[in-house]
């Protein structure tokens, strides 16, 4: 049976990766709009970002005005954007596209779970990988340890639980399987969080959105600062499936995203240097808007990378343009850059290159020059 | 145009017809209902026996007297299990006045779709959730409740989206519960015209007004990918677009647009693309208008890929996460030959050797876990807010899964919930859940003492290692409910 006390030996200054998944297929053409492309304005007569509204990033793109809180991070060179990015999955199905993107192929487990397992630095702990939310995301499947929690505050068995915990550890000791492993992780996590609870609270309260997303970012920052060996955290942000009334749907979602990231950046301060945030989505939206002032499932979208080591202030990935010959299938922005090639350079800052390549089996990596 | 009244008539008729058609008279139930004052015999084998297995799979878990009662249905254990399956496949033969009385306070759930708007959305969601808990806890029609759970995920609707906040209650009643053991094609059709589904998957805004208008593909895609053929069922992006065209023009009256007839489902010919469509290699001729929907339903509801997709999902629920191919094949074949009769399809599943052998292969999902704990301990519950909150924390709040594939039905998806399960076990055993109460003394006495309690909750005799750990604890009940054995079924 795993001992109840192995909370020592964590490398506290280790790097943390935060993966934010925009569930529902976020419209890259709204988040980072190709305002210099005439075809964009023709295809989106109602939903477009005009050249006047957008925050100009370069000679093609502008940031949606609702993403303004990200502008300082762009200006300071900490935020990079990759456009026309996505996966090879062309089903345009949320489930399939998320499934492929998170598994990164047909191998068992998810890309992040695989990476953490192959990387295997030191003793994996219950707080090595934390999924904020209610379900373990597919990306984290197969991690040596992964904990799903909605809030650090509720993560306790309450008073008088010590005896119960010890007996449970014994009852699960003979389970040499995933359930047993999960039980051992849970016991360890409870121990660690007891220590966290007695740690001093941060002084600078950053202005996080008051919702599950903001709370997840705030607690991620807390775990990073506490140095409990957090290697990866995943946070979902939903509300991007804009078939109908896209503007009303996306504006609050973009608000939450941008305000959350800006607050996280401010809150972490110098610890941001050892933290990288990546924002991804399963696919983009059809270039042409539909008759319900929405957009249907498409292909290419955008990814954001923020933090330690990222050489930002650049839109990477190459812009194919929206000419009729460039569009894919029913009129979609093609995928110019595979999302793995955005994740790979970020992961390479955390592990040896063979670990990174084995995390994406069956795929020849051609990393985007995100770091330099 | 389909009124809500017609839904109910259709649903009620089909549910009754299917229940009558596929089953002979159920065995007398007096034995199941007579309260026994003597201690009952819990399972007495070292492995999970057939009765515990079958009850565990077809219900939300055995109550203290279930094992003895089912075992008493026939001298031969296999025949006893068969008779239990028979009674569960014919739910109308099971007296359910107890749970009906408990549900009477949720009369709003019986309101017509338009009337649901008179209630606060939070009230409706809370009532729906309470009703689901009470049915799972108290209904004698356990397999029906289990299948309602199954179809609720299959035809997932997030009650937080748009008018689903009001209309999911009608969908639960007129689509899911009306057809849960009835006819799949009838359920699919009811779902396609369910006001809540028209909201959830945007069917209501799938409109074709002028040449160049693009259909909203959302429902069409999920219809093919999730509800019928399955993602590898052999359809193309072109099929999705053609199905979307065929279903254009169906809509539901919403609060913004009208005052009268809220929630009413209507076909608007002026929003329908009435041209010729090509779906799955077949031609739907131009000019069929609203009957395009029937043509699409005919093409997909009994498609061989649909049979396979549903058989796979059913075998995943009742046999194992990785369902054995032989069982899937037999179940798919009955689905096809019975023209999508759900009870007949399940009967085939329950007679496969793979089903019989699959002991303790499945991890209970949190709702199942919590309900099985309430049932195992004979806990009284009002199904109220304290339980809703615990289900939400365990990531399994009913009617709140955001995306159309519904809550996952495999072990890895739920491994992160152990802490919350332990939490729940401790709270339940310690009587710390508002609105829920158990009597540990009466429970032990019913089961003939500590050893009986262990055997009942573990569904087998405790091992010597378990005995040792449990004996050292001040109270064994929370540990039994939190144990690895009780997480599986």
Is the ipTM of this structure higher than 0.90? no
Render pLDDT for B414-425 as a digit per residue (tens, 0 to 9).
Answer: 887 888 899 899
The encoded tokens of residue B334 equal 């009955």
The pLDDT score that the predictor gives to residue B160 is 80
Question: In Å, what is the CA distance from B326 to each residue of A304, B22, B345?
Answer: 46, 24, 14
Q: A225 versus B387: which is more confidently predicted?
A: B387
For residue B432, the distance in angstroms to the closest alpha carbon of chain A comes to 12
B-contacting residues in A 123-152 (Cβ below 8 Å): 131, 133-136, 141, 146-150
Give the mean pLDDT of chain B.
91
Q: Give mean pLDDT, residues B67-96.
A: 96
Stretch 29-88 of chain A: residues touching chain B, C-beta under 8 Å? none
pLDDT of residue B10 exceeding 50, the answer is no
Closest chain A C-alpha to B392 CA, distance in angstroms: 8
DSSP-assigned letter for residue A351: S
Q: Tell me if chain A has a CB within 8 Å of the CB of B214.
A: yes
Distance to chain A for B214, nearest Cα, Å: 6
pLDDT the model gives residue B8: 41
Cα–Cα dist A122/A128, whole Å: 10
pLDDT in tens, B444-489: 999 999 999 999 999 999 999 999 999 999 899 999 999 999 999 9
Kindly determine whether residue B231 and residue A329, on different chains, have CB atoms separated by under 8 Å: no
CA distance B120 to B124: 7
**Does residue A108 sit at the B interface (CB-CB below 8 Å)?**
no
Q: Quick one: pLDDT at residue A193?
A: 67
Give B27-48 pLDDT, tens digit per residue: 444 444 444 456 788 888 999 9
Residue of B422, B429, B471 to mutate, interface with A, max A Cβ within 10 Å: B422
The pLDDT score that the predictor gives to residue B167 is 97
In this predicted model, what pLDDT tens digit does every residue of B343-367 receive, in sequence order?
Answer: 999 999 999 999 999 999 999 999 9
Average pLDDT (B142-149) is: 98
* B482 reaches A (C-beta below 8 A): yes
User: Bridge partners of B380?
Assistant: B437
Kindly report each contact of residues A199-202 with a partner whose C-beta sits within 8 Å and lies 24 or more positions away, as own/partner: A199/A226, A202/A267
CA distance A341 to A360: 10
Picking from B100, B46, B53, B97, the residue whose alpha carbon sits closest to that of residue B77 is B53
Residue B256 pLDDT grade (very low, low, confident, very high; cuts 50, 70, 90): confident
* Per-residue pLDDT tens digits for A327-341: 999 999 999 999 999
Residues of chain A contacting B403 with CB distance shorter than 8 Å: 23-24, 94-95
Q: Which residues of chain A fall short of a pLDDT of 70?
A: 1-13, 106-108, 122-126, 145, 153-160, 192-205
Q: Which residues in chain A touch residue B363, judged by CB atoms under 8 angstroms apart?
A: 179
B415 with A179: Cβ contact below 8 A: yes
Question: How close does chain A come to B244, measured CA to CA in Å?
Answer: 12
pLDDT (0 to 100) of residue A159: 59
Closest CA to B64 of B365, B364, B370, B379: B379
CA distance linking residue B342 with residue B23, whole number of Å? 12
**Closest approach of chain B CAs to the CA of A237, in angstroms?**
11
**Contacts of residue A131 in chain B, CB cutoff 8 Å?**
416
């Amino acid at each position: 049976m795993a001992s109840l006390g192995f909370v020592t030996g964590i490398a506290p200054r280790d790097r943390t990766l935060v993966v934010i998944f925009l569930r529902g297929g976020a419209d890259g053409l709204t988040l980072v709009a190709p305002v210099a492309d005439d075809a964009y304005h023709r295809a989106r007569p109602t939903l477009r970002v005009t050249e006047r509204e957008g925050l100009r990033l370069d000679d093609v793109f502008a940031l949606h005005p609702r993403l303004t809180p990200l502008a300082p991070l762009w200006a300071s060179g900490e935020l990079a954007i990759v456009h026309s990015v996505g996966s090879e999955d062309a089903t345009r199905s949320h489930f399939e596209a998320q499934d492929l993107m998170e598994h990164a192929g047909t191998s068992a487990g998810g890309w992040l779970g695989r990476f953490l397992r192959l990387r295997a630095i030191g003793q994996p702990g219950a707080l090595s990988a934390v999924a904020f939310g209610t379900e373990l995301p597919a990306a984290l499947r197969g991690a040596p340890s992964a904990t799903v929690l909605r809030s650090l505050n509720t993560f306790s068995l309450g008073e008088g639980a010590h005896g119960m915990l010890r007996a449970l550890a014994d009852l699960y000791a003979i389970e040499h399987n995933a359930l047993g492993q999960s039980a051992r992780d849970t016991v360890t996590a409870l121990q660690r969080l007891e220590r966290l609870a007695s740690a001093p609270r941060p002084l600078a309260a950053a202005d996080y959105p008051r919702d599950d997303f903001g709370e997840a970012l705030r607690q991620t920052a807390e775990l990073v600062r506490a140095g409990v060996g957090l290697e990866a955290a995943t946070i979902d942000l939903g509300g991007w499936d804009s078939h109908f009334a896209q503007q009303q749907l996306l504006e609050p979602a973009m608000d939450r995203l941008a305000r959350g990231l800006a607050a996280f950046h401010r809150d972490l301060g110098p610890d941001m240097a050892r933290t990288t945030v990546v924002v991804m989505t399963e696919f983009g939206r059809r270039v042409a808007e539909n008759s319900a002032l929405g957009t249907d499932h498409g292909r290419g979208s955008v990814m954001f990378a923020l933090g330690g080591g990222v050489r930002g202030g650049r839109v990477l990935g190459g812009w194919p343009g929206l000419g009729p010959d460039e569009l894919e299938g029913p009129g979609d922005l093609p995928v110019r850059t595979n999302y793995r090639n955005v994740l790979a350079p970020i992961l390479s800052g955390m592990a040896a290159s063979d670990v990174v390549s084995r995390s994406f089996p069956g795929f020849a990596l051609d990393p985007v020059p995100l770091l330099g | 145009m389909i009124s809500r009244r017609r839904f109910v008539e259709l649903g009620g008729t089909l549910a009754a017809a299917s229940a009558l058609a596929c089953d002979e008279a159920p065995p007398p139930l007096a034995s199941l209902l007579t309260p026994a004052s003597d201690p009952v015999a819990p399972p007495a084998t070292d492995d999970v026996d057939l009765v515990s297995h079958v009850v565990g799979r077809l219900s939300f878990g055995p109550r203290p007297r279930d094992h003895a009662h089912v075992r008493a249905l026939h001298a031969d254990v296999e025949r006893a299990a068969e008779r239990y399956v028979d009674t569960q496949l014919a739910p109308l033969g099971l007296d359910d006045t107890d749970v009906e009385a408990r549900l009477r306070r949720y009369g709003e759930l019986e309101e017509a779709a338009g009337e649901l708007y008179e209630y606060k959305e939070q009230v409706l969601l809370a009532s729906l959730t309470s009703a689901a808990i009470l049915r799972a806890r108290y209904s004698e029609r356990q397999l029906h409740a289990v299948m309602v759970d199954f179809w609720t995920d299959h035809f997932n609707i997030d009650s937080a989206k748009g008018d689903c906040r009001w209309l999911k209650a009608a969908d639960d009643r007129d689509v899911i519960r009306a057809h849960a053991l009835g006819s799949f094609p009838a359920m699919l059709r009811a779902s396609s015209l369910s006001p809540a589904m028209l909201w959830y998957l945007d069917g209501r805004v799938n409109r074709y007004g002028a040449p160049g208008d693009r259909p909203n593909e959302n429902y069409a895609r999920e219809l093919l990918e999730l509800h019928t053929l399955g993602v590898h069922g052999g359809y193309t992006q072109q099929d999705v677009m053609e199905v979307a065209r065929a279903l254009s023009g169906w809509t539901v009256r919403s609060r913004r647009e009208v005052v009268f007839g809220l929630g009413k489902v209507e076909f608007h010919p002026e929003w329908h693309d009435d041209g010729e469509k090509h779906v799955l290699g077949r031609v739907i001729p131009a000019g069929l208008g609203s009957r395009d929907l029937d043509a699409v339903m005919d093409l997909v509801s009994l498609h061989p890929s649909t049979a396979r997709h549903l058989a796979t999902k059913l075998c995943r629920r009742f046999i194992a996460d990785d369902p054995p191919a032989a069982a899937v094949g037999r179940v798919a074949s009955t689905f096809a030959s019975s023209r999508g009769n759900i009870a007949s399809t399940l009967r085939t599943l329950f007679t496969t050797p793979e089903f019989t052998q699959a002991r303790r292969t499945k991890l209970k999902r949190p709702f199942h876990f919590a309900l099985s704990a309430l049932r195992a301990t004979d806990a009284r519950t009002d199904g109220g807010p304290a339980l809703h909150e615990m289900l939400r924390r365990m990531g399994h709040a009913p009617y709140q899964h955001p995306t159309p594939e519904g809550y996952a039905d495999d072990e890895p998806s739920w491994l992160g919930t152990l802490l919350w399960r332990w939490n729940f076990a401790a709270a339940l055993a310690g009587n710390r859940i508002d609105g829920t109460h158990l009597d540990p003394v009466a429970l032990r006495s019913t089961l003939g003492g500590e050893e009986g309690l262990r055997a009942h909750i573990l569904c087998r005799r405790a091992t010597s290692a378990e005995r040792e750990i449990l004996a050292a604890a001040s109270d064994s009940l929370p540990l039994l409910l939190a144990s690895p054995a009780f997480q599986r079924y």
